[in-house]
Chains A and B, each alone.
Chain A
């Protein structure tokens, strides 16, 4: 399917920045995001192809704005909700619980 993820040959995506600090995860949450997605696949809550497709279905404008691991996170959340593993209500409640605990 041709959508925003199909970038080969596209023009105008800005200059390439070849710099590299060789850091695998630039924030702890990036590593957790990757591990959670892998764990969900290992637990057969979804498979790799479904997962890729979930990321490819992200709204094109948001796809371009998201960082790499933000896409992973949104893909994971969307799939888990579509599959009924978690609900939006549960997730929102958890978010607000953690926000309150932090403040």
Chain B
């Protein structure tokens, strides 16, 4: 479900992509290995499991958390997560009175280094339009109810600046180590459309 393209357009578009790739190959402007390598990176090496490790470490290492909130780009680089396109990273922390959610109203800017490529809904017109206007309503679509006393902050990502949410550590996780905690952290909780469920 939620495919990016309709099936009818798909074959025609696939042909256009093949035409472009083969043309660039004939001109010696690309190498097939490099293209395969890029596809593999986006499909298999970048993903929310990276961000989950960052969150789990922030929950268990107060000094790291402080560095992460102060200078996200540097703290992520410390863990080996360099930003892909040279963008700055800002980590926004959820707390009992504040809930953060990220969007890219202009297109699809997303913290690739820690979350991989965005899901289809993140790139969709309704999310881009409505997250800015009615964030509580959007969160409800994801089954997330934010009480009226909690401030909802919406962060609009752009080319130079990307955000990641540091979700709240769930109740009942006191005895868990960082590796076990990372298993609890979902991609959606780092976008801010959901919370991390208790174990």
Contact = CB atoms under 8 A, between A and B. Distances in A.
Contacts of B107: 5, 52, 55
Contacts, number: 172
7 contacts: A8-B156, A16-B124, A27-B3, A34-B117, A35-B36, A39-B38, A67-B4
Size band of the B side of the interface? 35 or more
Contact of B121 (A18, A49, A70): A18
B23 interface: yes
A59 interface: no
A94 B22 contact: yes
B9 A67 contact: yes
Contacts of A99: 15
Given A22-B119, A34-B42, A98 B30 contact: no
Interface stretch (B63-71, B91-99, B128-136): B128-136
A70 B5 contact: yes
B18 A98 contact: yes
Interface in A3-30: 5-11, 13-22, 24-30
A21 B29 contact: no
